[in-house]
Each structure stands twice: as C-alpha cells, then as structure tokens.
C-alpha cells in the first residue's frame, strides 16, 4: 500500500514538474536573437587561443570578454579527424558528411545551410573571409559539391546563393576561369556591385556587394594584409545593418579567420600569433557590435584543430621562474582534438557543455527560428 502511494506521488510529481520546468525556462525568457555573427577560426584549437594569450602576457584579449563557452567535437562522417569541408558542412548545415564533401552527404543528398535558410526567410546574409570565397569553409555555407576542389563549380553556385555581402578573395574563379566563363556579368545581373578592394566599397553603405580583393588568398597577416579582416567585418556589418533596417529583418553572417589554419600547417609560431591577433581583433568588432545592437548573438568557434599544437615549458624545473614556452607540433596536418567555442550577446548563456559541431548548428538555428 505504502509503496503504491509513493509510486503515485512520484508519478504525479513527474507529470507536474516536467512541464513546469519547461514553462519556467521559457518564461525566464530565451532572449530574442535577431542577428547571428559566427566567427570561425580555421584550425584554431584551444592551444592557439592560449598562444595568443601568453604572447600578449595575459593582458586581456577580446575573447576574454566571452560570456559562455563550450567544447565542440569535430569528427567527420568518414574520419575521426575532419577536414575543413566536412567540418564546415557540419557547422553550416547541422549534418555530418565525409571529408572533402561540401554541402552534401556522401550519398549525394543536398544539405541546406544556415545562410540558405536565412535567405529563404528573407533575412540578410554575409560572408567575410581572408581566403577565397570558393574555399571550403565559406563554400560549405552555400555550395553543394562532392569535392571541395571544384572551385569553379562553387563560384557558379555562389552567383545564385542569395548572399547579400561577400568579401574575400577568389577573382580567378569568377573572372579568370579555366572554362573561359566570366561570372562578373552574372553577379551584376543578380544586383551585386562587384568590387576588387575594400577601398572601392568604403563609401558604400547599403545594397548587395561582392568584393573580390585577391586572386586567391589575401596576404598573410605577417605580410601586408593590415586590418583587412576587422575592417571588412565592420563594413559588412554597416551594410547589413542598413539593409536590415530597410527590410525589417535580421541577419546571419559568417566570418572566417581562414589563415590560422595555413599558419599551423606551416608550424610557424610567428604566423600563428599574427593570424590569432588579427582574428581576435575581428572578434572585438563583433562583440562591440553586439553591445550596441540588441538581439545579436556572437559565436566564436573553429572547424577543427591544426598542428597538434602544444605549448610546453622550455625548462621542466618549476622551482625556477619561467624560461620561456615552446611551440611544439604533433603534425603538419589536422588533429582530432576538440575545439573551444565562445559565446557573447543575446542567447549566449544558452550554450555550454560538450557538444557536437552539428548540435552547435542546431542550437543557432533554433535561436534564429530557422
């Protein structure tokens, strides 16, 4: 008798408490997310962030401002170590695929990205990168090809992607193609202003633009790239904000610190530092934007870790003061380490714990109502 009463009580409690909990969570209010700025540091592991912090002698960096953090699993559908195509596809579409595949499964099913879904909903979208716009990570947000090296096919698919603002490199794949086609008139027919430098669009404050600022990659941060990434990000945000005000909508924007990956493949500490500093400056632009524009969520993440980077002490005698830190690389390729994700602004606190790269996509989609 006693046991059955207890059972009934537990059952009632379970029935009453479960929905109450859901209601309470809803009432407390998931903050309304109108805009999402997703910054992807290609190849940026936790050690790369740590390297920037220690090179800056632990003076606060922009990433220190993050309000929440998570760890992200990055494996692909056919390899425990992912490439940028599969990882970009997982982040963009919420579905894992095989290495080298962009925006489609190994079986050939088309996967729909956050950018495409945002476009279908009438939102504004943008991509800003320091590689070419047809490279794996940006391509994963609009293209569908079985091999990431199909750059000319990816460029053709870009023309009708609907992306409103795109800034990066890749003139070669649009205007100087091996197949002899010139896609610039096609871009113009879609209403794009086509520019070839940031300078050319400095007075532009609204509308649609494709800025092809290099033949392929922009220069490295250690060369003469200057503040291209933070400046292009600020310009894209300015244009998106004006377009959104006009159309009474929000935006989804993907920014890539593309060359952190190249620096780590090259096992070059100086380049890693320069690329990370540049990326962090761009994170600062995004965080500042979120401070001034209610309803903006900023997600800072990576697609995978490159270099198997570790930062051991130069001397192992810890009774002495520091004698320096080394950069050691486990590989000239990618590793299977989890990557860190940081969150700032509206909805940031909805993210924490360990999650899959596909789950990160799903949570962003949910907050944006996509």
CB of 284 closer than 8 Å to CB of 52 = no
Q: Classify residue 323 as exposed, middle or buried by CB count within 10 Å of its CB (0-12, 13-18, 19+).
A: exposed
* Complex with Zn ion: residue 76 or 124, whichever CB lies closer: 76
CB of 183 to Zn ion, least distance (A): 26
CB 190, min distance to Zn ion, A? 31
Closest CB 48 distance from Zn ion, rounded Å: 13
The alpha carbon dihedral of 43, 45, 47, 49 has a sign of: positive
The nearer residue to Zn ion, 190 or 333, going by C-beta atoms, is: 333
C-beta closer to Zn ion: residue 124 or 150: 150
- Interatomic CA distance for residues 282 and 354, integer angstroms: 25
* Shortest distance in whole angstroms from residue 228 CB to Zn ion: 20
Cα distances (Å, whole numbers) of residue 80 to 39, 65, 86, 95: 23, 32, 11, 15
What's the min distance (Å) between Cβ of 51 and Zn ion? 17
Distance between CA atoms of residues 345 and 33, nearest Å: 9
Dihedral sign of CA atoms 302, 284, 253, 30 in order: positive
List all residues 6 or more positions away from 75 whose beta carbon is below 8 Å from its beta carbon.
81, 82, 96, 336
**Which residue of this chain has its Cβ atom nearest to Zn ion in the complex?**
261
Binding residues (CB under 5 A) for Zn ion: these are 261
Give the separation between CA 131 and CA 50, rounded to whole angstroms: 24
| Residue from 76, 84, 258, 337 carrying the catalytic annotation | 84
The verdict on whether 84 is a catalytic residue reads yes
Question: What amino acid positions are annotated as catalytic residues?
Answer: 84
């Amino acid at each position: 008798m006693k046991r059955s009463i207890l059972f009934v009580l537990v059952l009632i409690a379970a029935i009453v408490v479960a929905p109450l909990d859901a209601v309470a969570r809803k009432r407390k209010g998931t903050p309304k997310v109108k805009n999402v700025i997703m910054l992807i540091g290609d190849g940026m592991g936790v050690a790369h962030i740590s390297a920037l912090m220690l090179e800056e002698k632990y003076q606060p960096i922009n990433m220190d401002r993050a309000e929440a953090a998570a760890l992200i699993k990055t494996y692909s559908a056919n390899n425990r170590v992912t490439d940028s195509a599969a990882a970009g596809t997982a982040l963009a579409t919420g579905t894992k695929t095989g290495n080298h595949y962009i925006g489609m499964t190994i079986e050939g099913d088309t996967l729909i990205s956050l950018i495409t879904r945002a476009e279908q909903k009438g939102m504004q979208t943008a991509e800003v990168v320091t590689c070419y716009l047809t490279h794996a990570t940006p391509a994963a947000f609009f293209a569908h090809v079985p091999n990431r090296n199909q750059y000319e096919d990816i460029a053709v698919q870009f023309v009708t992607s609907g992306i409103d603002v795109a800034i990066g490199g890749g003139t070669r794949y649009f205007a100087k193609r091996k197949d002899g086609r010139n896609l610039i008139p096609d871009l113009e027919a879609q209403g794009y202003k086509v520019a070839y430098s940031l300078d050319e669009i400095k007075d532009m404050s609204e509308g649609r633009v494709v800025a092809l600022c290099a033949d392929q990659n922009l220069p490295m941060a250690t060369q003469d790239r200057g503040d291209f990434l933070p400046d292009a990000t600020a310009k894209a945000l300015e244009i998106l904000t004006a377009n959104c005000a006009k159309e009474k909508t929000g935006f989804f924007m993907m920014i890539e610190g593309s060359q952190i990956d190249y620096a780590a493949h090259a096992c070059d500490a100086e380049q890693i530092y320069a690329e990370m500093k540049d990326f962090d400056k761009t994170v600062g632009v995004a965080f500042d934007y979120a401070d001034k524009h209610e309803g903006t969520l900023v997600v800072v993440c990576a697609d995978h870790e490159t270099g198997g980077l570790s930062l051991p002490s130069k001397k192992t005698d810890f009774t002495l003061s520091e004698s320096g830190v080394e950069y050691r690389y486990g590989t000239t390729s990618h590793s299977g380490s989890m990557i860190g994700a940081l969150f700032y602004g509206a909805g940031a606190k909805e993210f924490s714990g360990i999650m899959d790269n596909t789950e990160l996509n799903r949570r962003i989609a949910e907050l944006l109502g996509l």
